[in-house]
Amino acid sequence: MKIMSVKVHPIPLALGALVAGVALPAAAQTEGSQARVLEEVTVTARRFEESLQDTPVSVSAFGQHELEQMGISEVRDIAQATPNLDIRKLSGGQPAVGYSIRGISNQDDSISFDGTVGVYVDGVYVGRQSSTGFAIFDVERIEVLRGPQGTLFGRNTIGGAVNIVTTPPRDEFVFKQKIGAGNRGQRNFQTAIDTGRYNGLAARLSILDTRNDGDRKDVYTSRKLDESKTRAYRLAVNWTPSDAFSVDYSYERSEWESGEPIAQLTFVRDMYASPDGAFYGGPYWEQARDEASSSRLDRLPRAAKNPGDWTSDIDGHALTLTWDPLPNLTIKSITGYRSWDEFTPNSTFGGAFPADGSTLLDLATFQPIPAGTLVPLYQSHDRDRSQDQWSQELQIIGTLMDDRLRYNTGLYYFREKSELRNPQAFVLPTCLLLQAPPCGTSLLVSAPFLHVRPENVAYAAYGEFTYELIPDLDVTLGLRYSVDDRELDLFNLLDNVPQRIKPSNDWNNLSPSATVSYRWSDQLSTYAKVVTGYRSGGFNMRATTVESASLPFDEEEVISYEIGWKSDLLDRTLRFNGAVFYTDYKDRQISQFQTGNTGAAQVLVNAGRSANSGIELEATWLPTDALKLNASYGYTDINFDSFVAGEVDPVSGFSTGRNVDIADSASTQQNTPNHNGSISAEYSFPRWDIGELTLRLDTSYTGEIDFHPQLTLYNSSDSFWLTNARATLAEIPAGRNGHLSVGLWVRNLENEKYREFGIDWGQLGFVTNSYNPERTFGADLVYEFNR
């Protein structure tokens, strides 16, 4: 009989002891007291302000205080405290992140694929996943909506949405300055200035400047590989010429500079070894094999260039006009323009190793590469990516029939143009590439041709109507009609000939939804819903034949069934919300990694049908006036009914050349852990003369995860716990109308080292993984002046 061993983490045990030893006696002493209650959380998940507890949507919300105490600095950080949400940095670029909600994911930052999760900043959809890993600063609230979103938001997304609401201008003059420092050269400067309101006009300017020296060095040059610096600016202006009309304009710019993204060589396949043990690839591949390590390394063979040679710049404009012609009617126009430019002179996947002057040949000349020349195992060099997008949304929100009917309708237009130039070079054993001797030598292969310019246009009309049938019983019906028109201008090596093609296609979809919600009391409400969604088809821009580049992959469709509840219990000292879901997934688009003589790429294929099911639980408890506890848990189970794909041998990495149903063998944990959860405790001491002291401890758990449906033998991430801690002394008097705050913090307290993302390069013969940052710690000083 097999006995399952479970590792118990000490941090949750410590939190449990804290609850048992402090919270329960105090709770008994104050039973029936109304002094402490949970604050009402306001969200805009349904495009108008309402209480979180009145929203029949599975949504997690994080306010400004929570974000500061959790030390949230990037979008991906919120996943640690959000059930069934996974966000991780990808290998292809520093601000590129992949999202997964309820097992619906897309971990490819390609400029031609839509994401499964929509990211919105002040109502404006961010079209490219590659530009959503921006720094979080001057944010008022972040909301995570789980499940298909189409009848509430302008862009249709099948997994969910991350809604970021920035801090609006205030009516009084405010100056706030934050200075932070930490190990490995971390520096953080944030400034915010509110002008106050004059003649209906108010403005807010926010500035961010951060630097990080990183913690990994180049073996050859001893230069830092992952140092980075970010500069960001945001100007927000609000003008209210009358009580019925307001204008909001914001401009933001983000400039990111860093060394190249780190993809560590973790495994080299034995398929390059002959029966007598000699490597087919010769000395070059032997070096690679010797340098491969499954453990996180601090020094990597990179031949790094100068720091700051990798750049990513984002510009964003948003204009929102709000008109309330009647007390129960709001008309809103949201206009957004964003541009993104990225340049990567050198992304070395796996490492660079010196040629010996005889056994490493350049395929273009078939001459030996000079001895001592550092040649990357795989290199994407001088990659240039850009995107411009423009969106226009018109919303009409209101109530009728003495507020028994509430509606939210909209029209949406979105257009984007993107561009990619991406030369590549990689090394393969000669006898493997040419299927002939000489063995013991390797070839440097260049693929310089890829130049692609996708253009996408989307239109939509959507609406939701909520009607109160009887007191406390609401029925909501929604409908969305979507049209997506796509064109791909591609120049590449197709059928072994450099050529240009321009395929195009369009897709349309009608997505209905229905929700029934009932408020049983002021403390408990429940809802049941059925929601449909779709993600349009498209083209694989890295295809290697004219046929495969011209043939689009199909759209995918989901039907999501969900039952949920919202509750405030124990005299509103305990909030316990949850949802159970089942998602039927048709024509699921799956990323498959393919390699060949034109390089390596992720391509999308329609894999068939699957079903995702699971549960989400979130709880907040105030056992005493001083102690606040939070907990969350998410479980996702994925089952493939059919998964027709090109079969790949996980040992050799080679395609078998067969399209088969791999539903029984494909990974059901691709980019999605079965379990994730979090626990946090925040204790606020009674106020002292010098200020208010708050201690906070956060710990989160993420289960095992795979990065590919088939190539998982050498490329996956084990489960891990991540613990952060913070001590804050706030409200320290600092002159008239001013106060200080001092914070000490540590992230990844136990110095966990886990794989954040990985690629099995298949027939190229090796595996690379990127790892999380090691333990970081530091201090913050904040001064705020209000007048």
For residue range 15-52, what is the model confidence (pLDDT) as tens digits? 454 444 444 444 443 444 446 899 888 888 787 788 89
236-272 tens-digit pLDDT: 999 999 999 999 999 999 998 887 768 899 999 875 5
Cβ–Cβ under 8 Å, residues 376 and 301? no
- pLDDT for position 273: 56
CA distances from 387 to 312, 316, 384, 444, 606 (A): 11, 12, 11, 31, 26
What are the structure tokens assigned to 101, written together?
């909600």
pLDDT lower than 70: segments of the chain = 1-35, 92-95, 107, 133, 261, 271-280, 304-308, 435-437, 591-604
DSSP letter at 279?
B
What are the structure tokens assigned to 262, written together?
């780190």
What are the structure tokens assigned to 182, written together?
């930490």
How far is Cα 683 from Cα 695, in angstroms, rounded to an integer?
5
- pLDDT for position 559: 95
Cβ–Cβ under 8 Å, residues 372 and 352? no
Residues 6+ apart with CB under 8 A from 180: 186, 187, 188, 189, 778, 779, 780, 781
CA dihedral 208, 213, 214, 220 (to 10 degrees): 140
Cα dihedral sign, 653-657-659-664: negative
Give the helix/strand (H/E) hosting 26.
helix 24-29
Q: Which of 464, 392, 436, 569 is nearest to 38 (CA)?
A: 569
How far is Cα 141 from Cα 109, in angstroms, rounded to an integer?
26
Q: What is the DSSP string of 534-566?
A: EE--B--TT-SSHHHHHSPBPPEEEEEEEEEEE
The count of residues in the chain is 787
Q: Give the number of other CB atoms < 10 A from CB of residue 489.
A: 17
Instruction: Pinpoint the alpha helices (H) of 591-669.
Output: none
Count Cβ neighbours within 10 Å for each residue of 245-256 and write b for 16 or more, e otherwise: ebbbbbebebeb
- pLDDT for position 693: 96
How far is Cα 490 from Cα 500, in angstroms, rounded to an integer?
5
- pLDDT for position 9: 60
pTM: 0.90
Q: Give the number of other CB atoms < 10 A from CB of residue 745.
A: 21
Fold of 36-380+393-786: Maltoporin; Chain A (2.40.170)
What are the structure tokens assigned to 2, written together?
């097999």
- The 3-class SS string of 637-705 reads EEEEEEEEEEEECCCCCCEEEEEEECCCCCCCCECCCCEEEEEEEEEECCCCCCCEEEEEEEEEEECCE
User: Phi and psi for 674 in degrees, rounded to 5?
Assistant: -65, -40
End-to-end CA separation in angstroms for the chain: 71
User: Phi and psi for 56 in degrees, rounded to 5?
Assistant: -80, 55
Domain ranges of the chain: 36-380+393-786
Cα dihedral sign, 75-81-87-88: positive
What are the structure tokens assigned to 617, written together?
């639980």
- pLDDT for position 603: 65
Instruction: Pinpoint the alpha helices (H) of 260-384.
Output: 283-291
Taking phi over 0 as left and psi of -120 to 50 as alpha, with beta for the rest, 713 belongs to alpha
Cα Rg of the chain (Å, integer): 27
DSSP letter at 78?
G
Count Cβ neighbours within 10 Å for each residue of 36-51 and write b for 16 or more, e otherwise: bebeebebbbbbeeee
Residue type, 576: F
Cβ–Cβ under 8 Å, residues 772 and 748? yes
- pLDDT for position 33: 40
Q: Which of 721, 711, 723, 726 is nearest to 766 (CA)?
A: 711
Q: Which of 372, 191, 208, 386 is nearest to 287 (CA)?
A: 372
Q: What is the DSSP string of 485-547?
A: EEEEEEEEEETTEEEEE--EEEEEEEEEEEEEEEE-SSSEEEEEEEEEEEE--B--TT-SSHH
How far is Cα 483 from Cα 508, in angstroms, rounded to an integer?
4
Cβ–Cβ under 8 Å, residues 106 and 148? no
- pLDDT for position 1: 36
How far is Cα 436 from Cα 213, in angstroms, rounded to an integer?
47
Cβ–Cβ under 8 Å, residues 429 and 285? yes
Q: What percent of the chain has pLDDT over 70?
A: 90
Q: Which of 735, 548, 577 is nearest to 144 (CA)?
A: 577
β-strand 627-648 against 720-733: which pairing, if any?
A: unpaired
How far is Cα 485 from Cα 467, in angstroms, rounded to an integer?
35
Q: Three-class SS of residue 123?
A: coil
CA distances from 104 to 94, 220, 278, 556 (A): 23, 41, 44, 11
